Amino acid sequence: MAAYVDHLAVERGLAANTLASYRRDLERYARWLDARGRTALHEVVEADVAGFLADLREGGGSHPQLSAASAGRAVVAVRGLHRFALREGWTAVDPAREVRPPAPARRLPKALSVTQVEQLLAAPDASTSLGLRDRALLELLYGTGARISEAVGLAVDDLHRDTGLVRLDGKGGKQRLVPVGSFAGRAVEAYLVRGRPVLAAAGTGTPALFLNARGGRLSRQSAWTVLRRVADRAGLGVEVSPHTLRHSFATHLLDGGADVRVVQELLGHASVTTTQVYTLVTVDRLREVYATTHPRARR
């Protein structure tokens, strides 16, 4: 199994967090097989793989019941392992080929309204260096659809201020250039001119764009704290996460008529299928507007 994880890291270039999840899932699978006397992959049959999936979904004394999404991720890891073993000649058959991951319940992303986003972005105190940073961070998250890890990973040089673009390092080391809107551009510029130099003076020098009060790179966890604090200050009354801004970015683009494949590129999704979940949000919105405004839709 270690060889397969190495393959994922080196040849597939999976992110560290994804690799850690795969490793945990495969270790659980190895323990499950070992408890049933399967000490080598060539001994595994389809019933073993199907039984592992059923055990994940049902739970037991050794672990709680897993959601369809978590169980599905584990099965994907197991299927990949057996494909790899077959390709490497370790086994003669693939016992996981016919075992399908459970279909997860489709959960629509939560998006803020444009008014709520405006309330949130107006909440930081722009008279302080930290407030300038917070506004720039939130404007950039909403203005580019960046993941929180992508935003805190930015260096000053990743901003192409002359062209209004920012270079984001996405999952698996994939880079993309995304336009920075005028509001986000002005907020970032104000932070760079009046906020970041003050914060940087407390540190030892770092190319990071977003700094903490000690002059070091702002961490992902601290960025979460910033968002929660600003959301409380804005009085939104709803739970907000960094992904909420990413969802809102995509939903508002589609509401405005953007093509789903353009949104896919902006979000850095490998497949348009991932992006299409946002189209369900906009369809729900269209249905709501129709039901409340069309004279022949009301009952």
Q: Read out DSSP for 133-177? A: HHHHHHHHHHHH---HHHHHT-BGGGEETTTTEEEEE-GGG-EEE
The answer to whether 87 is a known catalytic residue is no
> Which is catalytic among the residues 73, 82, 133, 147?
147
Q: Which of 87, 106, 109 is nearest to 97 (CA)?
A: 87
> Which is catalytic among the residues 28, 135, 246, 252?
246
For the chain, the distance separating the N- and C-terminal CA atoms, rounded to the nearest angstrom, is 60
The answer to whether 294 is a known catalytic residue is no
Please give the order of strands across the beta sheet that includes 175-179. 159-160, 165-169, 175-179
Q: Give, as one character, the DSSP assignment of residue 208.
A: B
For residues 85 and 257, the answer to whether their CB atoms sit within 8 Å is: no
> Which is catalytic among the residues 38, 57, 83, 171?
171
> Which is catalytic among the residues 243, 261, 287, 290?
243
* 217 three-state secondary structure: strand
Q: Whole-angstrom Cα distance, residue 115 to residue 44?
A: 56
The answer to whether 290 is a known catalytic residue is no
Q: Whole-angstrom Cα distance, residue 207 to residue 198?
A: 14
The answer to whether 171 is a known catalytic residue is yes
Q: What sections of the chain are H helices per DSSP?
A: 2-10, 16-35, 46-58, 68-87, 114-122, 129-144, 148-152, 182-190, 196-200, 220-234, 242-255, 260-267, 272-275, 277-293
> Which is catalytic among the residues 4, 22, 142, 278?
278
The answer to whether 246 is a known catalytic residue is yes
CB atoms within 10 A of CB 108: 13
Q: Which of 239, 217, 244, 243 is nearest to 228 (CA)?
A: 239
Residues belonging to the active site? 147, 171, 243, 246, 269, 278
